[in-house]
Every structure is written in C-alpha cells, then in structure tokens.
Structure 1
Amino acid sequence: MGLPVVLDVALGLIFVYMALGLIASEVQEIISTLLQWRAEHLKYSIEQLLSGGQSEEWRSARKLADQLYSSPMVRDLNYEAQGIIAKFARQIIHWLGRGYRLVTRTRNVFGGKTSGPSYIPSEAFATTLVETLQLEGLQQSVVEVRLKSLLQERIMLPLGDTLHTLRAAIGDGALLDVELRNLESSLEKIFLDYRTGRTGLVQIADRVLAELDHFADQGAQVLPESYGATLAFNRRVGYLRSQIAGGMDMSEGLVLQLQPTIKELVAMILNADRADARLSELNHVRQQLEGKLPRRLQESLGILAERVSRRTNAVEDQVRLFQSEVEQWYDRGMDRAAGVYRRNSKIVGILIGVAIAAAVNADTFYIANRLTVDEAVRASVIQTIDQVSLESLVSDTGGDDLSEDLQSLSDAVQTTLSDYALPIGRSPKLLATQAVLEQSWRFPIPRYIFGWLVTGVAVSMGSSFWFDALRRITSVRTSGIKPLSTTTPSDQ
C-alpha cells in the first residue's frame, strides 16, 4: 500500500471522525444547556473556593455563596431570554433539571432558584464579597468611633483639666470658658460633617488641628503674663497637639490614627473578642455573616489583608487594593476550576462519542479496512473533501473562517451520507461483512466494541481538531503527485 493510499485512508477516517464530531458537539452542547452544567460547575467551584476544599466547611460556604448569588451585581448576570416561546422553553429546561436531580439525587446548587450565571467576572465577585463583608461601612464606623474618642477624651478632657489647674492658680473660675465652649461646638460640627459625609477625613484632620491652634492663640491673648500661665498653657496645648498629630506637623499623623488598616478591619470581623463594644456596625456585620465564613476563607482573607498591608502604607487605598487581591485570588481559583470542567467535559465527550459510535455502528477497525480495500468508497470520501475549497483548507484559518469552513464541511458531510454508502450503519450487508471479519478475532470481547471505543475517543477530540488535521493532511497530499486512486465510482 503506497503513501497516496495511506493518506487517502487517513483522510477517510478523519472525515468520518469529523462528521460524527459535529454531531457529538451539538449533542454535548444541548445536554450542557439543558442541565446547566456550566452554571452548576461555576457555583460548585465558588463554594469550593470559599471552603478551601474542606468538606466540614461546605455548609457555611454554601450559605455565603447563596448570599453572593443573591446580590444585585451577580444576580443581574443571569440573563434569560424573554417572550412566550423562550419562557416556555426555559420552563422545560427547568423541569428537565428537576428530573435529572431527582434521578441522580443531587441537590439544586442554586437553592430556591432554578438557574444561575454561567460566568462571573472577577471584578463582580470581588466587589460583591467586599460589599458582603461591608468593609467600607465598617471603616466609616471605626473612624467615627475613633474621631469621637479623639475629640472628647484626647482634646476636650485634657484641655478641661489644664484650664481647671490654671483657674485654680490664677483665681479666675471663668478663664477661657467661652473659648472652650466655642471649641467644643466647633469640634461637634466637625464630627457631624464627617458623619454625614460632607467632609473627607483629611479635611477633618486639618480642621481639628486648625481649631486647636486657634484655641491656643486665643489663650495666649487672654491669659495674664503673671504666674507663667501663658507659658504653661502653650506648653500643654503644644504637647497635646503633638500627641494628636502623631509627632508630625501636618495632618497625616492624625489621619493614620483615625483610619483603620485593611488588616485591622479584617481582624475585627474575624476576631469577636478584639472588637470595640462601641462599634454597632461591626455587630451588624457579624450578624449578617454568622455561620457563613468558613475557617479556610478567614485564613485566606487574613493572608490577603497582610499582603496589602505590606504593599502600601496608604490606608485610604487599602480597601481598593484588597479588592484587587481578592480578584486575583478568584481568578486563580477559577483557572483551576476551568481545568476540572475541561477534564469532566472530556469524559462526557468520550461517553457521548462512544454512544454515537455504537448507535451508528462506527467501528474504526472496520472503517479502516473498508477504506483500504474498497477504492470506490475511498474515492467517494476524497471527492467530498475536494468539494470544499482547498485554499480555505490549506490557508491559516481565523475564528470566523473556521466556523464557515466547518459549516461547508457539514453540508458536504450531509451530501456524502445521502449519496454514498459510507462504512458505517447497520445495513444487513455491512453487518454481514463485519461478521466475516469477526471470525478472525481471537479475543472474547467482540472487535467492534474496541472499534466503537476508538471511534468515541477520536470523536471526543472535536470537529475543530479533525478539521485542522484535515487541512494538514490535505496540504501534504496536494503538495505531491495526485494519487490515481481518487477516481469516482462513475469513472470505473
């Protein structure tokens, strides 16, 4: 058997694999759509990511995943077609899904819902998780508590003690009384401005230090020169200001004291014993997350927060950087999940391929034998391949061109199957020929079973794979002398 015949046999096998691969791809896509494999696998993968793969953590991971799926940003990703026909078709899919879960005794991963998104971008997941943890609201609450403590306990109380001592030394019980009340009123307004969101934290720090400087100037003007009162007052206020500003001249030190780091925020959520009783927002967050934070997720969040703290000291950017770290963590988890889905799809593809091969009796060994000994069958297959433009097969094919060429081949396949008797099927003549070949088979398992398995594995590789192989072999075949075996049955 010469090289041209070998190439023609290879083209014939590839043609059959591609024909069945087109069918298998459509069958697998239909099954995947009906049973929502992609959406279910995504939900399972997110639950496993949250639980860290620990079986004892699945219950809490499911609760958190259900809460994430109920958020508007994720819920809006589940697009469903509209219209009477589309809704009816969707109901059928849902009924099939219920029947499948009933037979296989698997749970509905979507909880009380019937479907979910097949893809969730990392940005949507990270944003939803950060919003579920309520980090920004907790950060606001912590700053409010710290700011209130600063104004009352670290400014007004020490100043009141200082004035009390000066008044006793000077004998003036009303010394700087008006100025102190004005300072207290100004500080209360500053607190309200931050609480209502009218002013940012940096501006708040500037205003606090400015009010403290203004009060010191007023004291210097009012206090008498005797008793060294002015000097003592200035030293006391200067020391107080230095402590508040963290030893810095600008407001940066005060901002660092007021604003919690992302590491502190995450620790507050995860460690109940270290929380400030005044943080009502924290209690609300914990009630919302009770029983929904797996231990492995807590460890992961702690590691991500630690990584952000090492990257930057800019506290105001740490929540944003933490969200970016969560996105990368999610992407890495989904990359692993995609590999698992591809392996599972491959197994399903092999099963579908074997089922199709058995249904149409596509025995690779018998097909190869018929293509080798029957020139007419071999010629009919080669003629079908020649019906498609060789230029499109040999040239580099892009995504759109590949779809068009596959469609052309699909049309050619239908023509060949209707015009020529390929060595597949269950016609009496074909079964009789197979029975003759089986007589020389010495193993207890029939040869056609192995043939179906080989065909199923080949079909599972996909029509695009065999299309590429067809282009390559066609290129080799057309680069040499055209084989004489490509005559059609009508020419014989």
Structure 2
Amino acid sequence: MNLPVVVDITLGLVFIYLILSLLASEIQELIATFLQWRAKHLKHSIELLIAGGSETEGADITKARNLVQKLYNDPLINTLNQQAKRKVEQLRKKAKEVGKETKQALVEKQSGPSYLPSETFAITLLDTLRIPQLINHVKHPSEDSKIDLHIILESYKQLKEGINNENSPSHLTIKKIYRDIEDPEFRNVVNTLPDDVTDNLIKSLAVIAQRSRIKIGDLTEEMNQFKNEIETWFDRSMDRASGVYKRNAKGVAILIGISVAILTNTDTFHIVNRLSQDSAIRSTITQSASQRTDYINDPEARRKIDNLLANNSLPIGLQNINQQFELDTRGLNDGIILLIRIGQVFRLIGGWLMSGLAIAMGAPFWFDILNKVINVRNAGPKPTAYTKDQPSQK
C-alpha cells in the first residue's frame, strides 16, 4: 500500500468522523438546551459559591438555595431568565409534538439563564443584601474611628438583634457604626435584610472587603472596588464550574458518540477495510472531503449531512452487515466457524467503540485534522501569490 492510498484512507476516515461528529454535536446541543443543563449547572454552582463549597452543611445549602432564588427573582437576572425561556420555548416548538400538558411542565422547569455576567451578579448580590442602603446610614469616618466595609460585614448578622434588643452587645456594636439606629428608615432597611445569609458568605465577603480596603481608602471608592472584587470572585468560581461542566459534557459526548456509532453501524475496522479495497468509494469520499473544507462553518454544506449519511456508497449503515460478517466457510468445521464468528462480533463491538470515542472528540477537532490531511494530500499549502510589494523569488 503506497503513501497516497494511505493518505486517502485517512482522509476518508476523518471525513466520516467529521460528519458524524457534527450530527452528535447537534444531538447533544438539543438535549442540553431542552433539559437546561447549563442553566441548572450555573444555578447549582452559584448555590455552592454562596454556601461556601460542596462540603458545607445541609442547613447552609438550604439557606444558599433560598438566597439564590431571591437573586434570580431580581429584575436584572429575571430578565435574562425570560430571554432564556423564550429560546427554550422556540426550540420545543420545533420538537416533536408531546402534548400540551407535557409541554407546559417542561416550560415550567426552566431554571434560569445559561450565562450570568459577573457585573450583574455583583450588583444583584449587593442589592439583595442591602449593603448600599446600609452604607447610607454609616457614621462618617473620622480620624479616630474609620468605618469600612469589613466592619459593616462583620456586624451584618448582628443588626436585627441589635436594633430590637437594647441590652444586647450587638446594640452597642451597631451604635458605633451607624448614625441613628432609631431612624425609621434605617430600621426598615435592617428589618428587610434577608434571613437566608450563610456565615460562609459573610466571611467570604469580609475577606473581599478587606482586600478592597488595602487598595482603596475612601468608603465610597471602596464600595466600587468591593463590587469589582466580587465580580472577580464570581468569575474565578465560574471558571472552575465551567471546567466541571465540560468534563461532564465530555462524558455525555462519549455516550452519544457510541450511540451514533452503533445506530449508524460505523465500524472503524470495516471502514478502513472498505476504503483500502474499493478505490471507487475511496475516490468518492476523498473528493467530497476535499470540496467541503468549510463544512463546519457553512450551513448549506452542513444541510447535506443527511444526504451523505443516506448515501449507500459510504461504508457505514446496516446495509454493510453482510460484508462485516462475510466468511468463507469452505474447509472449516463448526467449532472454528463459531470461534471466528465470535471474533467478528468482538471486532464489530471494538469498531463501534473506537468510532464512538472518535466521534466524541468533536467536529472542530476533526475539521482541523481534515484540513491538515488535505494539505498533505495536495503536497502542502499553495505558495504565496506574487504581488508588487513582494520581490520575485529567483
């Protein structure tokens, strides 16, 4: 087998993986959008962030869920939620009819947006905790005693007890921080503070406030810096959450890839065998691959996936079963034939698994490989065209 044939076989194999990867990606995207995996994962990640981590006690997790629900009810986030819900409803209208009651139940399961800007999270969190309103009632910093966000947050959990019980130590603490604790407006702010605030959240915010205090001295500027630090805190946490989601998505992609390989009977061993023996099929597939190097980006080209999959010339599909189990039984006894048949079954399963793992690599991966193989087949990229600005090469 000479090198051009090997390159053509590789090109055909990669092209088949590419079109099946596109199909698997579409299936996974439909499932993820339909079941709102991203939205649920984002909400769960925010709950863990507010609760203080996955090892937090159950009571704090419950408080965090209640607080996150309040955040999601805020107009800033609720607007994003409505936009996401409309997209899901549009997708479900295109899906197969499943009955009005089932559709309504699926729409009601919408958990929130799939993406939340860090600025929106920071503003919503601070507003829900009423931090800006509390700052408006803080005593003006003096040379002797400067009030900062760290002090405000440390006394946050003591506020309700402090204004309602004059004999408590909390009463004296908040009296040193706030101007007039008898002010009805201040009492209204304190009484509307959320109850589902975990100690871990306050500790995290206090650390962030301390970091802001080092950078900024004025309370007003410190508040702006505090908001920026919360955005950074949120972004870093969501980066880790995104990594977890990608690992989970890769597992789903492998399952989908193996399912697609089985349903389409995509046996890598059989494909290589057919491409190496049948020059007509090899030529047809390599020509299609060379003409569709923009396959992943061109919607018109992608619409031809079904036609390509339905093409009998492709070495995939149930019509190839007879060839996959083809066996010359002349001169063989029943025991040898049985062993060979068992070996063929295991080879078929191995071919499916190999194809499924390859499909799970994703269309972008195979698209890059396809372009590289095409360049090798065409003896490398085309030389740069001569222009007036470039000297001619002698």
Alignment TM-score, normalising by the size of structure 1: 0.63
Q: TM-score, normalised by structure 2?
A: 0.77
Give the SS at the match of 1:362.
Answer: coil
Distance 1:98 1:295 in 2: 36
Contact 1:18-1:466 within 8 A present in 2 as well: yes
C-alpha displacement of 1:66: 0.4
Q: 2:68 aligns with which of 56, 65, 70?
A: 65
**Does the 8 Å contact 1:259/1:315 carry over to 2?**
no
| Shift in CA distance, 443/118, structure 1 to aligned 2, threshold 3 Å | same
Equivalence for 1:340? 244
1:295-374 equivalences under 5 Å are: 295-374=199-278
8 Å contact kept, 2:216–2:225: no
What amino acid does structure 1 have at the position aligned with 2:155? M
Any conservation in 1 of the 2:20–2:359 contact (CA below 8 Å)?
yes
AA aligned to 1:362 is T
Q: Counterpart amino acid of 2:124?
A: T
Q: Which amino acid aligns with 1:127?
A: I
Task: Please give the alpha-carbon distance, in whole angstroms, between the structure 2 residues aligned to 1:370 and 1:284.
Answer: 78
Distance 1:348 1:43 in 2: 20
Aligned to 2:115: 119
Deviations 1:256-313 (A, max 9, x none): 6787311122122134533336476666555544541222212211100111111121
Question: Where in structure 2 are the equivalents of 1:228-239 lying within 5 Å?
Answer: none
Aligned-residue sequence identity (percent) comes to 37
Structure 1 residues 268 and 95, CA, compared in 2 at 3 Å: closer, same or farther? Answer: farther
**Match for 1:455: what amino acid?**
S
Give the letter aligned to residue 68 of structure 1: L
Give 3-state SS (helix, strand or coil) of 2:325's partner.
helix
Aligned with residue 433 of structure 1, among 319, 323, 341: 323
Aligned CA distance change for structure 1 residues 370 and 87 (closer, same or farther; 3 Å): closer
* Whole-Å separation in 1 of the counterparts to 2:340 and 2:269: 13
Q: Point out the structure with the larger helix share.
A: 1
Q: CA RMSD in A?
A: 3.3
Q: Which runs of 5 or more residues in structure 1 are unaligned? A: 100-109, 147-252, 481-492
Partner of 2:353: 453
Q: Is the 8 A contact 1:142 1:279 kept in 2?
A: no
Q: Which residue number in structure 2 is paired with residue 89 of structure 1?
A: 93
Look up the equivalent residue of 1:30 and give its one-letter code.
L
User: Within the alignment, does 1:377 sit opposite 2:281 as a pair?
Assistant: yes
Q: Compute the displacement of 1:9 (Å).
A: 1.1
Q: What's the CA shift string for 1:389-423, capped at 9, x where partnerless?
A: xxxx4xxx8xxx9512x642x35544444444211
Q: Give the match for residue 275 of structure 1.
A: 174
Question: How does 1:387-426 map onto structure 2 within 5 Å?
Answer: 387-388=291-292, 393=293, 403-404=297-298, 407-408=300-301, 410-411=302-303, 413-426=305-318
The one-letter amino acid of 2:174's match is A
Partner of 1:474: 374
The AA in structure 2 aligned to 1:25 is S
| SS across alignment from 1:128 | helix
Alignment of 1:23-62 (within 5 A): 23-53=23-53, 54-56=56-58, 57-62=60-65
Distance 1:287 1:135, change over 3 A: same
Amino acid paired to 1:425: G
Partner amino acid, structure 2, of 1:9: I
Residues 42 and 118 in structure 1, CA contact (< 8 A), matched pair in contact too: yes
CA deviation string 1:445-467 (max 9, x = no partner): 72222222211111112212211
| Per-residue deviation, 1:337 | 0.8
Q: How many Å apart are 1:443 and its aligned residue?
A: 6.1
CA contact (8 A) 2:51 2:64 kept: yes
What do the CA deviations read for 1:12-33 (whole angstroms, capped 9, x no partner)?
1111111111111111111111
Q: Which amino acid aligns with 1:89?
A: K
Contact between 1:142 and 1:259, CA under 8 Å: does it hold in 2? no
Deviation (angstroms), 1:373: 2.1
Aligned letter for 2:119? E
Please state how far the C-alpha of 1:436 moved relative to its aligned partner.
3.6
Give, as a single letter, the amino acid of the residue that structure 2 aligns with 1:270: K
**Aligned AA for 2:353?**
L
Q: Is the 8 A contact 1:380 1:420 kept in 2?
A: no
**Using a 3 Å threshold, how does the CA distance of structure 1 residues 290 and 81 change in structure 2: closer, same or farther?**
closer
Q: 2:362 aligns with which of 462, 466, 485?
A: 462
1:180-204 deviation per Cα after TM superposition (whole angstroms, max 9, x unaligned): xxxxxxxxxxxxxxxxxxxxxxxxx
Mapped partners of 2:116, 2:144: distance in 1: 37
For 1:209-248, list aligned pairs within 5 A: none
Please point out which of 120, 124, 148 is paired with 1:128: 124
- Aligned partners of 2:149 and 2:206 also within 8 Å: no
For residue 318 of structure 2, give the secondary structure of its aligned residue in structure 1.
coil
In structure 2, the gaps of 5 or more residues are: 160-169, 176-180, 328-337, 381-394
Bigger-Rg structure (1/2)? 1
Cα distance in 1 for partners of 2:194, 2:378 equals 69
* Structure 1 stretch displaced more, 321-330 or 256-265: 256-265
8 Å contact kept, 2:150–2:207: no
> What letter matches 1:17 in structure 2?
Y
Which SS does the other structure have where 2:136 is aligned? helix
- The answer (yes or no) to whether the contact 1:64–1:292 under 8 Å persists in 2 is yes
Partner amino acid, structure 2, of 1:58: I
Q: Deviations 1:41-86 (Å, cap 9, x if unpaired)?
A: 1111111111122243211110110010001111111215779x95
Contact 2:84 2:113 in 1 (8 A): no
**Structure 2 counterpart SS, 1:424:** coil
User: For the residues of structure 2 that align with 1:368 and 1:350, how far apart are their CA atoms?
Assistant: 21
